[in-house]
A and B are shown apart, each in its own frame.
Chain A
């Protein structure tokens, strides 16, 4: 992004990008229209016009107009939902399988899927709302806070509900657990090839493997917790840094 663009224009462009992404538009189209508008704004500001002059009275209305003329990429939206949904499920299967035999109650299974879907939908619509509404910083942080709380509240709620209401429990047994793990891993590898991103596998490996491997090494439980979480977060940090570098190189 050019430095000589006013802050108001920059934040308009960022909000537009966010709005279009959460509306599920094609990545290439989003990039292209944002770049074109950036070019326009730079030239307009150099001649003393403001972003209001370009966008009109209602940025929200303008974003909607643009969005209406763009193709919605349902398959990429579907991809994101699948990745999050099955990522959450696989995480649960792999972490539990590392400790013991798998067993889930009916409520847990349905609840996890339902909670994940509610989370995806609500986070998507909150982002879209925030991009267009032009909120104050305080309200924005309040919304981020609520969004951060939502998964915790929903999952903790599910755990309590699971204790209160008895539903049939499915136990996988030793071989069942092994099969579930193999199916999950196979599924994840397939998903990674299909979506052409290895992020789910790498994140899962970083979350699950340290815990699992450390059970073989004779260390004190407290050391184990520290070791495993520092490997996990250190690994994630390194991974994010590397991908950031790679995308930067690609765009140059």
Chain B
């Protein structure tokens, strides 16, 4: 199984966590993900995900003026998004401890 496939269920939660920290725009988000070590997928992948998360009402976008010129789209979490993030955190910590106990190296 490739990293990209493994990431599929997890990346949404990570994006929610990053947006939870502060309001953020697309490029910033892609850069943050790369800094955290998610460098196996192309940057543009976040946009279809962001579109879907907006449709699911986990995040909302607002247009704000940027210093560089055109208006920029900033994303923030909705109440539903906050709840989803909390659920993701508890699901992940359970999954993580299960996987860790199965694997011989710790």
- Residues of A bordering B, CB below 8 Å: 2, 32-33, 35-40, 42-44, 49, 52-56, 62, 65-66, 68-70
Contact = CB atoms under 8 A, between A and B. Distances in A.
A56 B51 contact: no
Specify which of B43, B51, B69, B73 lies most central, judged by the most chain A CB atoms within 10 Å of its CB: B51
B48 to A, nearest CB: 4
Interface string B61-92: 00000001110110000000000000000000
Interface string B40-62: 01111101100110010000000
25 contacts: A33-B51, A35-B70, A36-B47, A36-B73, A39-B70, A39-B72, A40-B27, A40-B30, A40-B44, A43-B68, A44-B27, A52-B42, A53-B43, A54-B43, A55-B42, A55-B44, A56-B44, A56-B45, A62-B42, A65-B45, A66-B47, A66-B48, A66-B51, A68-B48, A69-B48
B26 interface: yes
Nearest to B46: A40
A219 to B, nearest CB: 54
Contacts of B70: 35, 38-39
A37 B43 contact: no
Interface residues of B, number: 19
Contacts of A66: 47-48, 51
Given A36-B47, A36-B73, A69 B27 contact: no
Contact of B27 (A2, A39, A62, A68): A39
A52 to B, nearest CB: 8
A53 B42 CA distance: 6
A54 B55 CA distance: 23
A244 to B, nearest CB: 22
A33 B42 contact: no
Nearest to B72: A39
A39 B26 contact: yes
B55 A44 contact: no
Contacts of B47: 33, 36-37, 40, 66
Contacts of B69: 2
A56 B55 CA distance: 24
A143 to B, nearest CB: 27
Nearest to B30: A40
Specify which of A35, A36, A44 lies most central, judged by the most chain B CB atoms within 10 Å of its CB: A36
A12 B99 CA distance: 41
Given A32-B73, A68-B48, A43 B42 contact: no
